[in-house]
């Protein structure tokens, strides 16, 4: 029998991808063309779309890195493939077809080490179906891979119920910020992102902590995204000067708290509480289901952990990083390169 499914690779343009992405409930900023182009460059991007008949039912943006001459390398999918549409859980058959398509294209045909971080959380239906499927196809969990731990706030209840559910101390600080006479500005403009950058740089000069966040790259992402996909920048001003700022991405059914910054003066205004409350109002108005608070590390940053815990949101854990190599050479070369890069970072920190 003829299969109703078909796979296309690299036959969509940026505009087509931007129109396709919002149809998936599990879409995220990490699967936007703009994020991939700004982070890695156009030449490293590949796009796979699975269709059932004429309908797209799964999609994935893939970063492909090949070593010169050897041809070996890695294909990396961050928070994909996209599977959920129309408010439904991922279809088991679509999930199976999508994983097979990724393995066939990037591991088998191209001989690359395929790595993917699926966009699901431990215990949900998609994650439960993935475990035996991945095992049957030789996709193994990398114990050294990153684990995303986060709080996610369910936005289904009415606003007053959400506010009552906050930790009492968190709620009191929000009330204090509302009485502080702060000016609130929000939107998607470069000027607002510039205000965020000013607050962020002041915060970094004060705290001087290590971070993997590249605010300049995310600024380039913001400039490239079409208006419907742009991140939301929210700023609190005191006496005309920005003192608190947050950046929130909203795609699919989830908003993600990506960036936050507080100036010296902002530590007293507690404007961050007001900005997150306004972000929640905005996300609910858009009909989104979840507010993902952007990950946490209780040991490394207990202050941020306590702040996010104050939302009284549920803690979630992603399954992790899965991998299967299409060639022994790709696996050996990629892992050797990563060990070398890690050693260089370690030496740089010790200097």
Residues 50 and 185 in one domain: no
Same domain, 343 and 196: no
Same domain, 301 and 157: yes
Window from 114-118, 200-204, 345-349 with minimum mean pLDDT: 345-349
- Residues in CB range of 47: below 8 A, 6 or more apart: 9, 10, 12, 17, 33, 59, 60, 61, 62
309-336: average pLDDT: 85
Is residue 336 over pLDDT 90? no
* pLDDT band at residue 345 using 50, 70 and 90 as cut-offs: low
For residues 192 and 291, state if they share a domain. yes
* Ramachandran angles phi, psi of 110, nearest 5°: -95, -10
pLDDT attached to residue 206: 82
Looking at the fold, whether 237 and 164 belong to one and the same domain comes out as: yes
Mean pLDDT of the chain: 92
- Residue 114 and residue 98: Cα distance in Å, rounded? 13
Reported pTM: 0.92
pLDDT in tens, 32-90: 999 999 999 999 999 999 999 999 999 999 999 988 766 788 999 999 999 999 888 88
Residues 159, 195 within the same domain: yes
24 & 140 share domain:
yes
**Tally of residues, the chain:** 351
- Does residue 79 share a domain with residue 211? no
Kindly give the residue spans of alpha helices, DSSP state H, lying in 270-327: 271-285, 302-309
Q: Is the pLDDT of residue 287 over 80?
A: yes
Residue indicated by tokens 């696996």 = 331
**Same structural domain for residues 218 and 273?**
yes
Minimum mean pLDDT among 34-43, 211-220, 261-270, 314-323: which range?
A: 211-220
pLDDT at 202 over 70: yes
Percent of the chain with pLDDT over 70: 92
- 338 and 306, same structural domain? no
Contact 112, 130 (CB under 8 A): no
H/E element holding 186? strand 183-187
User: Are 180 and 298 within one domain?
Assistant: yes
Within 8 A by CB and 6+ apart from 144, the residues are none
We report the CATH number of the domain holding residue 83 as 3.40.630.30
Across 252-270, average pLDDT: 94
Q: Considering its fold, how many domains does the chain have in total?
A: 2
Q: Strand pairing partners for 73? A: 66
Look up residue 11 and give its two tokens: 């036959």
Task: Catalogue the long-range contacts made by 331-340 (C-beta closer than 8 Å, 24 or more residues apart).
Answer: 331/113, 333/67, 333/70, 333/72, 333/73, 334/72, 334/73, 334/74, 334/113
β-partners of residue 152 are 292, 314
Q: Which structural domain, as residue segments, surrounds residue 74? A: 5-147+319-350
| Axis-axis angle for helices 92-102, 125-136 (nearest 10) | 40
Shared domain for 166 and 142, answered yes or no, is no
Task: Sheet containing 45-52: give its strands across.
Answer: 5-9, 45-52, 55-66, 73-78, 113-117, 322-325, 140-141
pLDDT digits (tens, 9 = 90+) for 34-47: 999 999 999 999 99
Look at residue 2 and tell me whether its pLDDT is greater than 80.
no
């Amino acid at each position: 029998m003829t299969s109703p499914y078909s796979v296309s690779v690299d036959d969509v343009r940026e505009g087509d991808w931007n129109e396709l992405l919002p149809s998936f409930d599990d879409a995220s900023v990490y699967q936007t063309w703009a994020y991939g182009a700004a982070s890695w460059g156009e030449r490293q991007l590949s796009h796979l779309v699975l269709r059932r008949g004429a309908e797209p039912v799964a999609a994935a943006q893939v970063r492909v890195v090949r070593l010169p001459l050897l041809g070996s390398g890695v294909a990396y999918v961050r928070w994909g493939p996209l599977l959920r549409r129309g408010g439904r859980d991922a279809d088991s058959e679509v999930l199976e077809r999508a994983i097979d398509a990724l393995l066939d294209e990037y591991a088998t045909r191209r001989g690359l080490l395929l790595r993917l971080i699926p966009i699901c959380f431990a215990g949900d239906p998609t994650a439960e179906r993935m475990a035996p499927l991945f095992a049957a196809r030789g996709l193994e969990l990398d114990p050294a891979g990153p684990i995303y731990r986060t709080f996610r706030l369910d936005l289904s209840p009415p606003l007053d119920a959400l506010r009552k559910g906050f930790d009492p101390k968190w709620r009191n600080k929000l009330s204090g910020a509302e009485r502080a006479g702060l000016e609130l500005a929000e939107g998607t403009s470069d000027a607002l992102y510039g205000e965020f950058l000013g607050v962020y740089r002041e915060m970094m000069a004060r705290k001087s902590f290590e971070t993997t966040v590249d605010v300049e790259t995310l600024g380039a992402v913001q400039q490239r995204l079409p208006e419907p996909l742009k991140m939301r920048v929210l700023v609190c001003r005191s006496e005309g000067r920005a003192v608190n700022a947050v950046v929130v991405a909203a795609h699919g059914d989830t908003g993600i708290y990506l960036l936050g910054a507080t100036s010296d003066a902002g530590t007293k205004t507690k404007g961050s509480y007001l900005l997150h409350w306004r972000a929640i109002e905005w996300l609910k108005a858009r009909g989104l289901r979840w507010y993902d608070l952007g990950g946490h590390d209780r040991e490394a940053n207990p202050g941020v952990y306590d702040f996010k815990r104050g939302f009284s949101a549920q803690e979630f854990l992603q399954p992790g990083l899965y991998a299967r190599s299409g060639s022994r050479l790709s696996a050996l070369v990629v892992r050797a390169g990563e060990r070398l890069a890690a050693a260089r970072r370690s030496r740089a920190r010790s200097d």
